[in-house]
Amino acid sequence: MFCSFAFVNALEVVLLPDELIPEGARAIGSKETEQSLSQLALETVWRVNMGNKTVSPQNDTLWRFWDSDYSYLRYEGVATYVSKPEAVNYSASPTKYIAPSSVYGSATMLDTKKESRMIANLTWNFDVEHGFKYLVRFHFCDIMSKPADSVIFKVFINDLSVSDSLDLKNLTSDVLGRPYFMDVIMRASDNPTMNVSVGPYSKDGAYLYPITILNGLEIMKISNSRSSLDVSLSNSSKMKLGVIVGLAVGVFLAIVLAIVLFLFYRRRGRARAIHSKTEVVMVNAEEGKDNNGTAMFSASKIGYRFPLAAIQEATDNFSENLLIGVGGFGKVYKGVLRDSTKVAVKRGAPQSKQGLAEFRTEIEMLSQFRHRHLVSLIGYCDEKDELIIIYEYMENGSLKNHLYSSDLRCLSWRKRLEICVGAAKGLHYLHTSSEKTIIHRDVKSSNILLDENLMVKVADFGLSKTGPEIDQTHVSTAVKGSFGYLDPEYLTRQQLTEKSDVYSFGVVMFEVLCGRPVIDPSLPREEVSLVEWAMKRHQNGQLEEIVDPRLAGQVKPDTLRKFGDVAAKCLAGRGVDRPTVGDVLWNLEFVLQLEGNDGRSDHASPVNNLETSTVSTAELSMGSVGDIAGVSMSKVFAQMVREDMR
> Is residue 220 predicted with pLDDT exceeding 70?
yes
606 contacts: CB under 8 Å, gap ≥ 6: 453
Active site residue 460: no
CATH code that applies to domain 18-224: 2.60.120.430
The residue among 242, 30, 208, 197 whose CA lies nearest residue 112 is: 208
Instruction: Tell me how far apart the alpha carbons of residues 635 and 137 are, in angstroms, rounded to a whole number.
Output: 70
pLDDT at 619: 36
What Å distances lie between residue 140 and 99, 306, 454, CA to CA? Answer: 10, 46, 46
pLDDT, average across residues 596-601:
51
Query: Out of 368-382, 563-577, 578-592, which region has the weakest mean confidence (pLDDT)?
Result: 368-382
334 sits in which H/E element = strand 330-336
**Distance between CA atoms of 367 and 282, rounded to whole angstroms?**
20
CATH of 304-392, one of 3.50.50.60, 3.30.200.20, 3.90.400.10, 3.20.20.80: 3.30.200.20
Contacts of 352 (CB under 8 A, 6+ apart): 71, 328, 329, 330, 358
Residues 6+ apart with CB under 8 A from 80: 108, 109, 110, 111, 114, 521
Average pLDDT score over residue span 311-332: 86
Q: Which of 540 and 232 is assigned the larger pLDDT?
A: 540
The answer to whether the pTM exceeds 0.75 is no
With a cut of 70, say whether residue 276 has pLDDT above it: no
Pick the residue with more confidence: 99 or 299? Answer: 99
Query: 161 phi and psi, to 5 degrees?
Result: -85, 125
Which band of pLDDT confidence, cut at 50, 70 and 90, is reported for residue 284? very low
Cβ atoms of 422 and 589 within 8 Å: the answer is no
Domain 399-644 = CATH 2.60.120.380: no
**Best-predicted range by mean pLDDT (236-240, 486-490, 504-508):** 504-508
Query: Do 315 and 335 meet the contact criterion of CB atoms below 8 Å apart?
Result: yes
State the DSSP code for 412: P
Which range has the worst mean pLDDT, 34-43, 360-369, 613-622?
613-622
The mean pLDDT value for 75-89 works out to 86
**Residue 62 pLDDT greater than 70, yes or no:** yes
Cα–Cα distance measured from residue 554 to residue 125, given in angstroms and rounded to the nearest whole number: 47
Percent of the chain with pLDDT over 90: 36
Give the model's confidence band at 479: pLDDT under 50 very low, under 70 low, under 90 confident, else very high.
confident
- Helix, strand, coil % over all residues of the chain, rounded to 5: 35, 20, 45
One DSSP character per residue, 205-248 reads TEE---EEEE-EEEEEEEP-TTS---GGGTTHHHHHHHHHHHHH
- Which helix (H) or strand (E) segment is 153 a member of? strand 152-157
Per-residue pLDDT tens over the stretch 547-556? 999 998 899 9
Which of 84-98, 571-585, 589-603 is predicted least confidently?
Answer: 589-603
The 10s digit of each residue's pLDDT in 614-636 is 333 333 333 332 333 333 333 33
Task: List, by residue range, all CATH 2.60.120.430 domains of the chain.
Answer: 18-224
Which of the residue ranges 27-31, 66-70, 137-141, 270-274 has the most confident prediction, judged by mean pLDDT?
137-141
Separation CA 119–CA 137 (nearest Å): 25
Which of 335-344, 505-514, 574-583 comes out lowest in average pLDDT? 335-344
Q: Is 156:121 a contact under the CB 8 Å cutoff?
A: yes
The catalytic position among 69, 442, 460, 583 is: 442
Using the CB atoms, write b or e for 480-498: b if 16+ within 10 Å.
Answer: bbbbbbbbbbbbeeebbbb
* pLDDT at residue 275 is higher than 50: no
pLDDT recorded at residue 536: 95
pLDDT surpassing 60 at residue 256: yes
The closest alpha carbon to 217, from 126, 120, 149, belongs to: 126
| Residue spans of alpha helices (H) in 315-453 | 355-368, 399-404, 413-432
The whole-number pLDDT of residue 250 equals 74
Distance CA 491, CA 94 (A): 41
What's the pLDDT score for residue 533?
Answer: 95
Confidence of residue 146 (pLDDT cuts 50, 70, 90): confident
Return the top range by mean pLDDT from 253-262, 355-364, 426-435, 577-586. Answer: 577-586
Strand, helix or coil for residue 139: strand
Residue 1 has pLDDT above 60, yes or no: no
Q: Count each helix (H run) and each strand (E run) in the chain, helices first.
A: 14, 28
Write the CA distances from 336 to 55, 217, 309, 342, integer angstroms: 33, 40, 13, 5
Give me the torsion for CA of 523, 527, 531, 537, rounded to 10°: -140
Stretch 441-447: mean pLDDT, rounded? 92
Q: What is the DSSP string of 474-542?
A: -EE----S-TTTS-HHHHHH-EE-HHHHHHHHHHHHHHHHH-S-SB-TTS-GGGSBHHHHHHHHHHTT-
Quote the mean pLDDT of the chain: 78
Contact 54, 46 (CB under 8 A): no
Most confident of 74-83, 260-269, 436-445, 538-547: 538-547
